[in-house]
Structure 1
Amino acid sequence: MTHLSTSRAEQEIERLTALHPKRQDLSLERIKALLDKLGNPERRLPPVIHIAGTNGKGSASAFSRALLEAAGYAVHVHTSPHLVNWHERYRLGVKGERGRYVEDDVLVEVLRRIEKANDGHPIALFEILTAATFVLFAEHPADAVVLEVGLGGRYDATNVIENPAVSVIMPISMDHQAFLGDRVELIAAEKAGILKRGRPAVIGFQEFDAALDVLVSTAERLRCPLWTYGEDYSAHEEYGRMVYQDETGLADLPLPALPGRHQLANAAAAIRAVRAAGFLLSEEVIERAMLSVEWPGRMQRITEGKLLAHAPKGAEIWIDGGHNPGAAEVMAEALAELEERHPRPLYLVTGMINTKDSLNYFRPFEGLAERVFAVPIRGTEAMTDPVVLASSAYDAGLVGQPMGSLIEALEEIRRIASDPDKRPPRILICGSLYLAGNALADNGTPPV
């Protein structure tokens, strides 16, 4: 979410941002009208795996892509938001290889074609970008599309897909309450809006029974062939391996390359979803996918780059863009497991936007993190002031300290944690995808 200023697409999107309202219309009429003028590219796509959820939908997208590519399929992938440049939202499939981000000239041409078709009518930027997804994916051959929802589900611009190969709903928790409702069952109802009558549905692990009840009842009402985590399929760790199970039997697999116990459930949802979409997956293919999966900015360890020079020698630096209490809980659990195996003092470097619940975001880290360094974020006007954020950390039982920048925070950690008689620290840069993008850009390691 820190952009490449030299990109022509970046300049084009900045111009479109100035022309159009930022917020998406809470209906699908505008995007449908625009797509109709473009010849309805959304109806000319390969089989679509449509993924919604508060947390885990990005991981499910990454696992789905890894599974399909390991099987030799060409797979288009749409994710949002991006971390460092806009092109990350559009990965075009290549047969027998990993997909590649759309080329700059191609994206510019598509954006200009969409603007011409729209002909000055009211439209939101996300609707333009989603229209670009459908044009790009319809005009480039592939075997499958992994389509991640932007916000919610029912009124998300991606929800013009009428016959998905499968709809997937990942864990639901509190986030975007101003748009989706202030109870998990209301949020679940919005996410369930991507379910289509008679089309397969996969429900990932759900912490809240109220959310699960809404999802299951909606799927049953729509007569969707349904697979629910914990009932129809599951995964667990056994002797350092991942055991996956569904109605076809058991698979003994390596642990996923994405760290954290929660990733087993995310991987399981993706396996069941890709199979439900009609793709054959051998155990050998699934094993390759578990080892090759990658998802930048989500519990990503930085092993090279510019940031390491500002941290204590031997320090671990991790980046995670999770930004709500549910995401914080799984991060804290993953770090607690890591602490058990490889103890190190933990420091958080955190930036957040002002629509997020910072107090409950910090609570899972009480007793785990030694200090929180609150930093500003580039690329958004909705940044929470570091002084306010540090105060939230204090209210959650942590030691909070405001800093002027990410680099300053790392250098302060270097100053206070460079005792040669103590283990080098573990540093988690967290709280916002904007900050994750800032960190990857500053480190010189944007997603590829």
Structure 2
Amino acid sequence: MTETILANATVVLPETVVAGTVVIRDGEIADISEGRSVPTGAINCEGDLVMPGLIELHTDNLERHLEPRPKVDWPHKAAIIAHDAELCSVGITTVFDALRVGSVTKKSGDYKKYAREVATELLDMRSRNALRISHYIHLRAETCSETLIEELDSFTAEDRVGIVSLMDHTPGARQFRNLDKLKEYYQGKHGMSDDDFDVHVSHQLALKEKFGTAHEAASVEGARRLGAVLASHDDTLAEHVVTSKEYGVTFAEFPTTIEAAQACNDHGIAVMMGAPNLIRGGSHSGNVAAHVLAEADLLDIVSSDYVPGALLSSALLLGDLWGDVARGIRTVTAAPAKAVGLTDRGRIEVGRRADVIRVKRVDGTGTIHGVWVKGQRVG
């Protein structure tokens, strides 16, 4: 029997916050009690927050480690280890690593195939107990591509694919309906000239025309075959949400308008927004600000997106905005767990998996002072 006692803590329960003690035993939460006493052998948390480990549904962070500079292909297992350690260090104990499926064979760089190879290496690292936190696969299905179907078909139900998201990055639609913003993004990230950008737009529109409908249908069917949750991405119009509902979408990643977010709410689809949007006060693509949705009670889940450390800060920010710390923390714990059907974690409750973090608040953010995964201290 292994036991850890976190005492004199500010414990974030599903609906409230109490001063108390959490007992972790044999990988589960064994007991929760109120009070400031510190039993012999317990860790004195000195009033720090004790909460569930954070659950990340959509992060591009692994890709950043795989390609730390443009056209630099870093050794994959080293990249996976660094990614895993980084997420652990900011309190994320469960992650759905986003990998793109759908490539363009006539281009290089960001459009090459990589998902199957990286997923195999990630699963191998997991089987060898080389990782600190819990990893699942999130397949970002790019409908504006050439190879989506064959890439999807390379995955099976044994691959821990938890999410398939429908990605439509057609220029002039959804996230990049503002072509000026799209041009700014691609010229900044890829160094495209004006002519290069025009060629890119024409090529993407042609791919959408040729493959879009078939690829969307294949992605929906792929999610069913893999036993994965289906997510929409960048819904902009109410009509987009109606289609999402028909497909069986569970949650919507980054709706771009308040109209789409309201439609999601009306149809019982959870709304997920990006932590960087919340912290920066707005979208880098010129879309709806996450805080606007939060103020309208249209925000359910937060994702770190491209800044892992933003996840905790955003949850604390929401807790302050709503005047309810427990509600803010639910957006990065219980709510994402519910969206993907993880019933064993995301809440400080007796019998739940002991994925737990200790957080010291520092003004508007927090620092991690302990991370436990299945009761084992990993950070």
Q: Tell whether the structures are fold-level matches, with TM greater than 0.5.
A: no
| Structure number with higher strand proportion | 2
TM-score by length of structure 2 reads 0.27
Q: Could you state the TM-score of these two structures normalised by the residue count of structure 1?
A: 0.24
